[in-house]
Every structure is written in structure tokens, then in C-alpha cells.
Amino acid sequence: MSYNNLLTNIEDGILFVTINRPSKLNALNMELLQEVGQIFANDVPNPEVIGVIMTGSGEKAFAAGADISEFAKFSVEEGTKLSADGHAIMRSVELCPKPVVAAVNGFALGGGCELAMACHMIIASENAKFGQPEVNLGVIPGYGGTQRLVQRIGRSKGIELLMTGDLISAEQAGRLGLANYVVPADELIEKSKWLIRRIAKKSPRAVGEIVKAVDALYTDGQDGFKAEIDAFGRCFGTDEFLEGTTAFMEKRKPSFR
Ligand code: COA
């Protein structure tokens, strides 16, 4: 399928999703976000796809935020709906049973930072900059930033970044645990592929169960330990468990795909 604001291609089983509005620093308009939702609903389940790398077109930005020109005149009701719709899309990224890596190649601000944080892992190029500058606009993050930033880097530093709107460097993001790895710009995609390929050698069912069990820690009303017990038990009913344990016993590498 083709999209108006995103480029997609599959390379060695990795689905590349490139945010493609470089003249607007890849600002996320509503149509673009809906397209992200469509990709996770329709393209990612393709059995050929082993994982997703999300990145931005051009050298300046992953995404410099939600498209301010689109919501500047919104009412309370429209603002609430914008946020609720954005949340649903971020959730579809976060709950993807296949690994999703944000390859952040420049500004990841506001909604861009929130989209990167909805991905399972972040790899940042050395020139990346992260931040939630919404306070400068008289608003707060609306696509999960108040929650996911604090989940990822802790309350003290998280609330500081949210309240000040300060941007942080890739190096700081790496130190705070927001970015899993920081690499030179020309190694960004290769490092992202490396991570997906390593995970692709593991049991896909187990990887999907890890997404659910980890998510339970952050989901209201769920007991993460109970979620782990259930997920662990489910693994025992899979061919992949049989293959993994048999391969160990036979002193060979498992073959899950
Ligand atoms: N929404 C809409 N348009 C945006 C945008 C956003 N979040 N971020 C950048 N753009 C547009 C600019 O309006 C400009 O468009 P124009 O050329 O038609 O005027 C273009 O992208 C280039 O941006 P510009 O500001 O000229 O680049 P810069 O290098 O001088 O500054 C930033 C880069 C990221 C510091 C600056 O663009 C910025 O502050 N963006 C908004 C960040 C933000 O508040 N994000 C949270 C939104 S909720």
C-alpha cells in the first residue's frame, strides 16, 4: 500500500517506515498519524515482516512534533479528540508483537519524541535532539509524553524536561536510558537493522509475549507478575518452545522461522 506522508519498503524482512514531510521537519499531521495506525494494522502483520524500523526523511528530523499549524485553532473538544486519537495510534505501535525500533536521525520533539517512545527501542544518531517543548506553546504533551518519558527516564528528570521544555542531546538521551544506543549518523540504520536481526533469531511468540508482559507493568488494573505467569504458561503450548528446548538438548541452534 502507498501512503501520502510515509514511505514504506521491506528489506530483508524489515519494514522501514519513513516519515516523509522533510520540508516541515516531518511534523506529524493527523493524516500521517492515521497512516501510522494503518501500517501497524495492515502491513506489520504480514508474515514476511520480522520487525519495524521507523525513521525520518532528510537529515534534520525524525519528527519535530505534532503539526502545530493543524491544531493551533482547535477547541477544547477538538484538542481532546486529537489527543485520544493520537493515544490509540501510539498504543498500536507500543503493543506491536514484533520489535519496533525508532531510528532517530535529528529532532524528535513533542509528538516526534512521543512516537519514538511508543517504539520498543530507540537508536539515536549523534546529532539527535529529544524534548517535549509543548509548554512553550501553552499546552502539554498529548500523545503519551507525560507518561512514557517518566516511565523511561524516571520522575525527577522526566518532570524537569516536561516543565522546562528543554531539549537534550543524543548523548544525554543515551545516559538517561531514553536511547538504547547512540551512533554516528551514517551507522544509524545499520545499527537498527542489527538489533532487529538479532531479535528475529529468537522465538517470535516469546518476543510477542514479552511485549504484553512488560506492558502490564504500566497498565492500570493489570498485575504484571500475573501477566508474566500467564504469558510464561502460554509459551509451553507452542511449537517454538518445543523447538527451542529440543535444540538446546540436541546441542544445535534453534530454528524458529
Ligand atoms: N509543526 C508544524 N510545522 C513545523 C513544526 C511543527 N511541529 N516544526 C517545524 N515545522 C516547520 C516550520 O514551520 C518550517 O516551515 P516553513 O518553512 O513552511 O516555515 C519548517 O518546518 C522548518 O522549520 P524551521 O523552524 O524553519 O527550522 P529550524 O531549523 O529553524 O528550527 C525547530 C527547528 C525544531 C527548533 C523548530 O522548527 C521548532 O521549534 N519546531 C516546533 C517544535 C515543537 O514545538 N514541537 C512540539 C509540537 S506539539
Are 94 and 118 in contact by the 8 Å Cβ rule? The answer is yes
- Per-residue model confidence (pLDDT) at position 1: 79
Gap between the Cα atoms of 173 and 160, Å rounded = 14
Ordered by start, the domain boundaries in the chain are 6-200, 204-249
Residue partners of 194: CB distance under 8 A and separation at least 6: none
CA gap 153, 156 in Å, rounded: 8
The CATH class that applies to domain 6-200 reads: alpha beta
Residues 118, 40: contact at Cβ < 8 Å?
no
Contact yes or no for 204/230 (Cβ under 8 A): no
Q: Is 66 in the pocket of ligand 1 (CB under 6 A)?
A: yes
At residue 257 the predicted structure's pLDDT band, cuts being 50, 70 and 90, is confident
| Band of pLDDT at residue 203, cut at 50, 70 and 90 | very high
Q: Whose CA is nearest to atom 18 of ligand 1?
A: 24
- The pLDDT tens digits of the residues spanning 60-78 come to 999 999 999 999 999 999 9
Among 24, 33, 90, 168, say which to mutate for ligand 1: greatest number of ligand atoms within 8 Å of CB.
Answer: 24
Residue 224 has pLDDT above 90, yes or no: yes
As a whole number, the mean pLDDT across the chain is 97
Q: Which residues contact 221 (CB under 8 A, 6 or more apart)?
A: none
68 in contact with ligand 1, CB cutoff 6 A: yes
Residue 76 is predicted with a pLDDT of 98
* pLDDT of the residue at 225: 97
Tens digits of per-residue pLDDT, 88-105?
Answer: 999 999 999 999 999 999
pLDDT grade for 220, boundaries at 50, 70 and 90: confident
pLDDT > 90: what percent of the chain?
98
Range of weakest confidence among 89-93, 217-221, 227-231: 217-221
Is there an atom of ligand 1 within 6 Å of 99 CB?
Answer: no
Catalytic residue among 35, 134, 209, 240: 134
DSSP lists the bridge partners of residue 11 as 14
Task: Round to whole Å and give the CA distance between 64 and 28.
Answer: 8
For the segment 142-170, the average pLDDT, to the nearest whole number, is: 98
Per-residue model confidence (pLDDT) at position 77: 98
pLDDT per residue as tens digits for the range 20-29: 999 999 999 9
Cell of 187: 551507522
In the structure, what pLDDT confidence band is assigned to residue 221 with cuts at 50, 70 and 90? Answer: very high
- Total-model pTM: 0.97
The radius of gyration of the chain's CA atoms, rounded to the nearest angstrom, is 19
